[in-house]
Amino acid sequence: MKVKIMAILFTTLLFASCSNEVKNPLLDKWDTPFETPPFEQIKEDNYLPAFYETMKLHNAEIDAIVNNSEAPTFENTIVALENSGFLLTRVNRVFSAMNESMNSDKIQEIAKEIYPKLSEHDDNINMNPALFTKIKSLYEKKDELNLNKEQMIVLKNYYKDFIRGGANLNTDDKARFSKINGELSSLAIQFGDNVLKETNKFELVIDNKDDLAGLPESAVANAAETAASKGQTGKWIFTIQKPSMIPFIQYSTNRALREKIYSAYFMKGDNNDELDNKNILLKIVNLRLERAKLLGFNSHADFVLDEQMAKNPSNVYMLLEKVLTPALKRAEEERAEMQEMIKKEGNNFKLESWDWFYYSEKVKKEKYDLDENDLRPYFEVNNVIKGVFGLATTLFGIQFEERNDIQKYHPDVKVFEVKEADGKHIGILYTDYFPRDSKRSGAWMDEFRRQYKKDGEMITPIIYNVGNFSKPSGDKPALLSLDEVLTLFHEFGHAMHGMLSNCTYESVAGTETPRDFVEFPSQVMENWALQPEVLKTYATHYENGEVIPVELVNKIENASKFNQGFATTEYLAASFLDMDWHTITEPVTIDVNTFENNSMNKIGLIPEIKPRYRSTYFNHIFSGDYSSGYYSYIWAEVLDADAFAAFKSSGDIFNPELAKKYREFILSAGGTDDAMELYKKFRGTEPGIEPLLERRGLN
């Protein structure tokens, strides 16, 4: 009780200290609907003072736990830890979101200063001997504490996290461990900043209309708008942001320009200039290895996988190799088809990586009479959003209401309140779907507040989905590609995992699951996107409202396994690359490109396919949380293919009984039980790999 009172007192004093004339909105009480961030009041200059103030507060809360003279209990130690750092977490979540989506020179400066400080702050807590002694004493008598399953997992997680955070190291090793963490934090920031700057730096400027041959009208219009925004009216500018680049390499008849833009994309961070990432990633790899060895692991991958479903690198490699063999075989068949297409056109050049998108589109058109541009008019972004919302309503009975009274961080953002069927508030969802120079590439979900319960009260989640999809152009709305539709459904699946969480403790709520399980709820959502029963609810022509024709739906279905050799192989190549970098057991000094080439040669990657991410712009693993974890997508796909097969085989893809079990045991359960146990509670059995191979046409 003393700890709880102290925490309340600290928070009250801090809020009170902000009541003077100069208020920092990050430290003030948020008198906003559902305590959403007051973006209109937050300025970039607010972040550093808020970080330093809330770190001090957090330290005081930790001191209160450590100095509590009462015997350690789950309540005064573990729950107190759960409740500590509330304001620091709040500040960090807002700043992290802005760092990803509203980046600026000032934000980058703040990140470079504060992230190493945050790393040091976390290390000081994780390596606090008195605090660890209390946790360890509880862990050693855990079976006598009469804890429920969620509490037991929370206790075990804290104990393991402290061990993995260096709590058992000697004094010298603790100092080195902390120094490594700080360096890694700085290097990850620099890596990501370089990729963002490299992405924004390249422009393919076209001033001859003939060089636009083959391109869709929407791509040309967007390029004209981009040029005009940069003061180059009468020209067209294409970038290596995917909504700009992909249509270009799919449809441009100018092979030299396709090569130019694609080469700029796959050479990001590898141009031997101030934005080169080769030395940075080598330092990251070697520091991660050193840290893993300090903790007694053979490699960084062993360290990471120790708490994932895969458990060890051998299991990861085994799965990747099992899928690679049929994927490569199919990719070689696809290559032969495209080479034949080149020959039929009267050309004798050899297919290259920058040709793949162009000729695969031609082969698809010839084999299935399907042109992706025929689909875009039916995938207007607001209709797609309504479609995914409607799917959630059908499956889980929840409702979405747009809120215009909640502050946004950018005009592109939309905000929705999520409710149960009876109107009970569940949470808030922000969507931010269009690219801009301040936003990193890709798509993701995160949270401004995670769901948990405090003193029996439900603290509801505040979730956001971010994408870089095709934007409106001229008088046309945002018309998405098929891939963008699937990505929107994917990230919405993550949002549902966070939104429908029903856990007591924040550290195991929502997406706080093993990394190779967390992609399951997102990927399974993609399965519904192209089902005819779902398509008819949202795939309507943006001009006349006509539902997508049955013939077009059939073409999508017929072509669903097309190019899966390529799609699977390029993904697997990146997964192998990630694992190879992180299974090294001795420091490497090898040239980065030599290492990458050796890795790709080892798996027999054909030269016409590049790994989805080359090392020098592989943000997932060098600037994000997916190191030794990029395999997670295919691991989780085994689960999602098997799960959707259950809905299909039941004869009802909206099967209410299965949907209820899925919500209860997957979406609501977070990390409150072993991931496979949760899956078996939903499905009744462990998954097999066959549905995955069948879906990708690799069986």
Phi, psi dihedrals of residue 297, rounded to the nearest 5°? -100, 155
* Cα dihedral across residues 549, 378, 476, 387: positive or negative: positive
Q: Is 323 strand, coil or helix?
A: helix
Distance of CA 46 to the CA centre of its chain: 27
Using only C-alpha atoms, the chain has a radius of gyration, in whole angstroms, of: 26
User: Among residues 372, 491, 596, 637, which one is catalytic?
Assistant: 491
Strands 425-432 and 462-466: parallel
Helix (H, G, I), strand (E, B) or coil at 614: coil
Taken in order 171, 172, 174, 179, is the CA torsion positive or negative?
Answer: positive
- Residue 628 token pair: 């030794």
DSSP state of 39: T
DSSP 3-state percent helix, strand, coil across the chain (nearest 5): 60, 5, 35
Q: For the stretch 63-87, what's the b/e string if a residue is b when 16 or more beta carbons lie within 10 angstroms of its beta carbon?
A: ebbbebeeebebebbbbbbbbbbbb
Element holding 221 (H helix, E strand): helix 217-229
DSSP 213: T
Residue with tokens 């200039």: 273
Contact 425, 413 (CB under 8 A): no
Q: Could you tell me which of 285, 284, 288, 274 has the C-alpha nearest to residue 193?
A: 274
Q: Is 417 among the catalytic positions?
A: no
For residues 434 and 687, what is the distance between their CA atoms, to the nearest angstrom? 36
In contact, 174 and 127? CB cutoff 8 Å: yes
CB contact at 8 A, 668 and 504: no
**What is the C-alpha separation between 221 and 396, in angstroms, rounded?**
40
For 297-308, letters b (16+ CB in 10 Å) and e give bebbbbbbbeeb
Edge-to-edge strand order for the sheet containing 462-466? 399-402, 414-419, 425-432, 462-466, 444-449
Cβ contact 269:275 at 8 Å? yes
- CA distance linking residue 378 with residue 362, whole number of Å: 21
Q: What are the tokens at 331? A: 């990719």
Catalytic residues: 491
